[in-house]
Each structure stands twice: as C-alpha cells, then as structure tokens.
Amino acid sequence: KNDSIIEAIGFRIGSHLKRLGVHINFAPDVDINTNPNNPIIGNRSFGEDKENVTRKSAAFLRGMQKVGVMGCAKHFPGHGDTDKDSHETLPTISFSKERIAEVELYPYKELIKEKLSSVMVAHLNVPSLEPRDGYPSSISRDIVTGVLKEELGFNGLIFTDALGMKGASNFTGPGDIDLEAFLAGNDVLLMSGDIGKGIQKIEEAYQQSRITEARLAHSVKKILLAKYKAGLHRYKPVKTAGLTADLNTVEDKLLYEQAIANAITIIKNKGHILPIKDLEDKRIAYVSFGDDDGSRFLETLQKYTKVDLVKGDKLNELLVKLAEYNLVIIGLHRSDANPWKAYKFSDKEMVWLYEIARIKKVILDVFVKPYALLDLVSTENIEGVMVSYQNSEMAQEKSAEAIFGAIGTAGVLPVTSHTNFPLHTAVRTNPLSRLQYDIPESVGMDSRKLEKIDLIMQQAMDSAVFPGAQLLIARKGKVIYHKTFGKPTYDSERNVRLTDIYDVASLTKILASLPMVMKLEEAGKITLQSKLQDMLPELKGTNKADLTLLEILSHYARLKPWVPFYLKTLDSAPARPSPRYYRKTPSVEFSVKVAENLYLRNDYKDTIFKIVADTDLMEKLEYRYSDLPFIILKRYVEKAYNQSLDKLVWENIYKPLGANYTTYNPLEKFDKDAIIPSEVDNYYRYQTLQGYVHDMGAAMQGGVGGHAGLFTNANDIAKIMQMYLQKGFYGGKRYFKTETIDKFNKCYFCKNNNRRGVGFDKPQLGEAGPTCGCVSMTSFGHSGFTGTYTWADPEADLVYVFLSNRTYPTATNRKLITQGTRTIIQQLIYDAIEQ
C-alpha cells in the first residue's frame, strides 16, 4: 500500500545495478494482470488495478532514476490478460482498441508524462492494433511506431523482448526477425537468435534503401544519448573490492523486511480471530500444505506460544491428532523461485482443508500468489485468511509476527482472488505490543559492536566461567540478539538450544512471587504499609510482626540473608539425608519430592516457616539482601488465593503471556534433555541436579519456592520483562496498572544508602553494584545464584537476559562474579546504541 517503500526499493536496486556497472534495468513490469490464468506475468505485475500499477511503477522508476539507472516499462502493449506464455508461443490479446487504450496502455500514457526512459515491446498477437493475422507486436510498425511513438508520443529507447522467444522466432527465422523488428521502429534488438545474420540483413536493407540514413541515425543517436546519460563517456571499470558487502547491506535487509511486513494482507477475519489474543484459551496446531519448506514460519510461531506441528499420512489420522486443539493454522508453502512454479492447492489439500475447517477454527495463510484461493469452492468455514505472497524466510517470519500481533497488517489485495475476496480486499489489524524479532540496526544499534559479545562469551567459556549460556537483547519491542553459547555441561555432546530451560534461581523473586504480590496490592488486599502480622496472623508476637511489606521487599528489615534449612535434616556423620526426614520412595507422610529418589517429610514445610518466624533479626538496620521475605510472601500469597504459587503464576502470568517454557518442577512438563543441569550436588542430595531446583530451601518446599525454583529460557523472560517495561501491558492484555509498576519500581530508601526497589533490584548508588553503571536510574532487574541475570531499562527501552549454569559442576565456581561477565556485556550493549 505504501508507495514510498516501492520508490525506496527502486533506489536500492538502482544503487546495486550501478555498483555492478549495469546502466538499465528491464523493469518495472507495468502489465495489468487481469487474467488469473496468466502463466508468465502473475506476481511480476503490481496487480489488476491500472491506477495502482501505474503509481507503483512510477515510484519504482523514480527510485532507480535517482541514481542514474534507466528503467524500462514492459511488456507493450500489455501482456497482463493472456493465458499463454510468449516464451513458448504467440499469445493473443483479443480486446478492442478502445479497451486496450483504456486499460493496458494507461500506465504507458502516465509514465511517458514522467519522462519514461525506455519501453520493451512484447511478442503478442493483437488483432485490433495489427490487422495481419498472427503478426507479433514486436515487429509491427502499426504498434511500435503507430501506437507507441505517434499516438502516445514516446521518444525514448524502444527494446524488443528477447527475439529468441518462440512468440517471435516461430514467426520467421533468425536475421529476418531482427530486420522486421528494426523496420517496425525498435531501437535495440534484444537477444537475437543469430547476431551475425541480423547484422547482415539490416546491412542489406540499408544498402537497398529499405532503411534510410535518417532512420538508422535516429536509433543510433538515441542509443548514444542514453549512453551519455549513463556516464559511459567517462567510463570507469567496476571495482570488485568489497562488491559482495556493498550488494548485501543492512539497509537492504531492513527495506526488504519493511516491504514484506507492509504487504501481508488479511482478507478474512471472522470473529476477529486475528491477531490471536487470549493465549490462555488457545491450543494451537500447525498443518503444512505444499511442497516447499515452512519451518521458519513454525519456528517463529513457536516464539509466541506453544504451537505443535501436526502431521498425518491420511485425513482420518490427521483429524484424530487435531482433536485436542481448538485452533489450526494452515500454511500453504510452495516455491516462488520463478513464475512457472506451481502455486495452487492440490485436490487432496483442498479436501483436507474443507474437513479441518468443518470441525476446527482455522487460520489459512498462503505463501503463494493470491490466485491460489480461486480454486476453493467455499471459504465459509475458514475463520481467518491471510496472503503472504511469497515463501521466503522473511515472509514466513513477518507473517507469523502478524498472526500474533507483534506487527499490524496494512496490506491490500492487488487482484481478485475469489468471489469472496475481490480486488482491494483488506482487513487492517493493529499490533498487540508483543515482541518482534529483528536485527540491531532496526532499533538504532550497531551489530558490529554487538559482535564483541560473542568474543567475551567465548573467552568466558574458555576460562570455565560456565559451560554454556543463552543471551537475549531486546530494544524498542524487538528482540535483536538471541543466541546460545557452549554446551549444557563441559562434556556434553550437543550445544545449548534456544528452547533449553535454566534454573534461574532468584529471578524467581521478580518473575513469580512479585507479580502475585503486585496483583494483591492492586486489588486492595494489601498496601506497601501492610504489616506482616496483619497479612499472616501466625506472625503476631514474633519479631517479624511489625515489619511492613515495603520494608521486607526493599530488603530493609534486618532479616538474615538466608537460612540453610537442609543442614538440620542431615545426619552428622556422614552428612547424608536423615531417615528421620527423608525416604527414597514416596508415601503418605513423605511426599515432598526434593530430588530423584528423595522425599521429604510432609510437615517440614511448616517447620521451614516456623524457623523463619523464629529467626533472630540482625542488630543493624541497613540494606541486606535476603531470601526470607519471599519465603514469607509465598505463604501469604497461597493463603490469599487458596492456591499454590506455581499454579497461580501459570494461570495469571505465564499462560496468557505465552511463556510456555516457564515453570516450576520442569520434569513434569519437559524431557530431561531440555533442562540444563545446575550442579553436581555432593553435600545434600548427592546427585546431578537436572530438573530439580538447585536452591535447597526451595527443594524442601517441593520445588516451589517464593525465592527460587523457577525454570525458564531467555525468550520467556524477555516477554515478562517487556510486559514490565510496557507498564504492565503485553499482547493486547493488561496485567498491571501503570501506577502499580511505577510504585514497585521505586527506590524508597535511597537516602539510607539502599538502592532496592520493591522486589526489584535497582542500579547501584555508588561505584559497585549489579549493573555496568551505564543504565538509567529508572531501570530494574535481578540476578540469580546459578548464573542468571535480567535487566530492563525504560529510558533505553531495553531488555537484557543472561542465563548460564555457572554452578555446574560446582557452586564454588565464582568466576562469573569475579570477572563481571554479565555487566561487561551490559556495557557492550549500551555502547552499541547509536547516538
């Protein structure tokens, strides 16, 4: 829809051509493609609306001409309404002269007004313009000279289409066809079947005075003028140094992405099924049609929520597998490598589509010409229909983003693709503020500077800081860096994957406990000044009774940093789990699973809380980070909601966000191989911890702690942090009020040398602290014992996620902290922001 993008594309293509030493581009195709069965034009044309084709062609030409590259309008007098390919035969245009003048010639008339440089004449049989039956337009004086030159007043260069094409070569032999083309009024004869014979025939005609000196000079002077305008009188050879880089720039990629994103067209949106909202209610399957690859489409869909690829050799088998889903996305993927490639649904695919749509809600996305939809008998049962036009990886990515509302859609159907979808059909959608996926330059960052991160990460792994990691950077709502490094363990055979999940330790505090506390505060159940004895009556009479929510979440309440609860449950010699507290198999009394083949006594959860309640306060009131507030608040939150914390955050936060990899006790949902090990425990559980929480206190609560226990990956954390950054809004859903986010992201005790927000960590007040010192004071985040970190900065509009298992094989490895890898990378991120 946006013609300025077309002009920019013309400019970039022109720049590439000039860099290559090319002076003319046989483009744009100005054919009005009014025939869906056209075998050769199709999506080479801008569509069937003559005014739209003309506007876009003019824009493209302006772009190229700005850099001094000639354009060429084709295929005169109009190849858009043919059902045959002039490469193979001579197609017939049977319209009246009046119709051709009104439709097919319209772009030429308008472009000639804008000083069109050249025109290419097609090989067509046009009886209304050339009375001789079967006489190709490319050699017709009535058409080339009579219509193009005299009636339309065109005085630019005139090219034939390739004379070796059968639409011309079947008429007469090499040499003769060249002569006839020149006599018709063409200036440049393209791709002669026999150059020598062509020259010979033209020389003979000149000598016989069939070609006059004036006629010859006319074309020669036009060609020389074109060469002069192209600068060939000051010819310089093409410099090959840096050529590949010059032809593959970041600017080119961004422009291509912009064009694709703006082209994607929604043509049916029954019940506002697009973009997909309310992820908590969706069980989504993806079914792939066609013979080309759709893997990038699926990969991108899966970044937003759980989407399963469902296959079946037979229809009944497929329908059985689809029974558990309530939404099916069907993608038609066929190659668009050239105009001859098949683009239609197979008969089998149409039957399968009708049957799936009969029993399921369906979004159909066609990555081919929109004409593919013409063969559908009915679209009644299909709720959503999208046209993505081509099956490139970029089209697949942007189409998936549009489906989930990361981007809006503004595309307009350029042709009639069905009786239900006429020309200009368009359903515009607005974005839902979900993360997009892009390159650094799209948000004003330098990818070359970010490459330094890769070096830092490799150096860290070489120094055994951690065996592997995930790293993600998002800015302005776009993930622009998302990579994995290393392996799950030092002796693993495979690399870390983007979907692998890590034990994120204390990130649990701001990703699980804090949001549920914020919801209770927002609902008026508590305030920041609420006292613990009022929230939990069992704390009355203890030294915690008068502590306020604000104080404990600001780590300004004299609470001890942590309590090693597990030590009291070990035998002294050797220090192994005591049979008094543990069993190797579960039973009615011993059902709290701490690790593999290790079950804790049920009543010990209450013992943990009693220990916390009875623990002495520290003598001095000062900032002291502590796990205890979140152990206390977990108990309060679960009582307030009468539900366990893991279920609460799943239902209220993770599921609607599409954070499907975020969970407590991941072995209940994921294969063990998808979980990164955290430590070889040789002091408590005596096993490799993989899928069981590293933190001992959280393990003793069945893996669900308020202070630790969460497993997730970088992509899911980015969704949660982006939601915070967007003041509680994400994916079309409001999770928190703006004022709630602001209230908790505030330092209330900065004057007391305490940097902390309410639950969130904040930038250091002096030199040392949790950040690089380069972030804004409105930024917030948290770090985790296992080697994890996340930080969001509203002023830079930036989210940073770092996940590692630095505690593997032993938690005594403190190199990540001493070397400052996380904050060194944070500094590099800020250095990459272009000023």
Least Cα distance to 28 among 66, 67, 57 occurs for 57
Report the alpha-carbon distance of residue 156 to residue 510 in Å, rounded.
68
At residue 51's C-alpha, the angle toward residues 49 and 56, to 5°, is 95
Least Cα distance to 372 among 380, 364, 382, 384 occurs for 364
Report the alpha-carbon distance of residue 367 to residue 743 in Å, rounded.
46
Report the alpha-carbon distance of residue 429 to residue 427 in Å, rounded.
7
Report the alpha-carbon distance of residue 440 to residue 473 in Å, rounded.
9
Does the annotation mark 673 as catalytic? no
- Per DSSP bridges, beta strands 384-387 and 502-503 are unpaired
Does the annotation mark 571 as catalytic? no
Q: 91 to each of 53, 54, 107, how far by Cα in Å? A: 22, 23, 21
Q: Which of 3, 23, 87, 293 is catalytic?
A: 87
The count of other CB atoms within 10 Å of the CB of residue 315 is 13
Report the alpha-carbon distance of residue 112 to residue 153 in Å, rounded.
8
The count of other CB atoms within 10 Å of the CB of residue 72 is 24
- In sequence order, the 6+-apart residues with CB closer than 8 A to the CB of 240 are none
- In sequence order, the 6+-apart residues with CB closer than 8 A to the CB of 279 are 304, 305, 655, 656, 657, 658, 731
352: helix, strand or coil: helix
Q: Please report how the helices 447-462 and 821-831 are oriented relative to each other, as an axis angle in degrees rounded to 10.
A: 170
- Per DSSP bridges, beta strands 118-121 and 73-76 are parallel
- Per DSSP bridges, beta strands 502-503 and 710-712 are antiparallel
CB 672 within 8 A of CB 465: no
Encoded tokens for 808 = 């593997």
Least Cα distance to 179 among 192, 166, 170 occurs for 192
Q: 49 to each of 104, 116, 119, 567, how far by Cα in Å? A: 10, 20, 20, 78
Q: Which of 29, 49, 161, 646 is catalytic?
A: 161
Report the alpha-carbon distance of residue 87 to residue 92 in Å, rounded.
13
Phi and psi of 655, rounded to 5°?
Answer: -60, -50
744: helix, strand or coil: helix
CB 637 within 8 A of CB 697: no
Report the alpha-carbon distance of residue 637 to residue 648 in Å, rounded.
9
- In sequence order, the 6+-apart residues with CB closer than 8 A to the CB of 825 are 453, 456, 457, 471, 800, 802
Q: Which helix (H) or strand (E) holds 118?
A: strand 118-121
Phi and psi of 829, rounded to 5°?
Answer: -60, -45
Give the residue numbers marked as catalytic.
Answer: 87, 161
